[in-house]
Amino acid sequence: MSLRLKRIGFLALLAVFIIILFSANYHCALAQEKDGKTAPKTEKSIMPLVTFVEIGSVNCIPCRAMQPIMKEVEEEYKGQVKIVFHDVWTPKGKMDAAKYNIRVIPTQVFLDKNGKEYFRHEGYFPKEGVVQVIKMQGVK
């Protein structure tokens, strides 16, 4: 077998291994979230109706403008909306950006109570727009 074919075979095997590794870690993390082991315990352990995922960076001006909006939504709709922030300029954040197929920051991804994406917005998103989107899932 030529050296070139051996290299191609090695790279293919490495790619399969990486895919399996990340897939296993992702499914393990999902299982832990479902078990409630990674989520902080609350008094009633209420499942949020919406998960508001903000993908951006602390060094991005429009992303920083989203921070107060996220904080207000989290306080006003406590227990109904879960806020998650991923900084794409960190190693973990880069993986999260790839997971959500992010093209620009900031990007807001809204997940229903089953974890399925039901809405996405790219760029700065005013609070009124965020509130309209979360109310689509019965948030009051």
Range of the domain at 68: 50-135
Measured over the CA atoms of residue 21, residue 27, residue 31 and residue 33, the dihedral's sign is: positive
Answer whether 110's CB lies under 8 Å from 51's CB: yes
From 35-44, 62-71, 129-138, the region with the lowest mean pLDDT: 35-44
- At 54-90, the pLDDT tens digits run 999 999 999 999 999 999 999 999 999 999 999 999 9
The answer to whether residue 140 is domain-embedded is no
Answer whether 79's CB lies under 8 Å from 48's CB: yes
How many domains is the chain built from?
A: 2
Q: Assign 27 a pLDDT band (cuts: 50, 70, 90).
A: very low
Give the pLDDT confidence score for residue 47 in this predicted structure.
Answer: 86
Q: Are 107 and 66 contained in the same domain?
A: yes
Q: Are 35 and 56 contained in the same domain?
A: no
Q: Are 116 and 58 contained in the same domain?
A: yes
pLDDT above 70 coverage of the chain, percent: 68
Q: Rounded to an integer, what distance in angstroms lies between the CA atom of residue 38 and that of residue 99?
A: 19
Answer whether 11's CB lies under 8 Å from 18's CB: no
Q: Supply the mean pLDDT for the chain.
A: 81
- Answer left, alpha or beta for residue 115, where phi above 0 means left and psi between -120 and 50 means alpha: left
Q: Are 34 and 62 contained in the same domain?
A: no
Higher pLDDT, 32 or 9: 9
Q: Is the pLDDT of residue 19 over 90?
A: no
Task: From 49, 55, 62, 131, select the one nearest 89 (Cα to Cα).
Answer: 55
Higher pLDDT, 69 or 40: 69
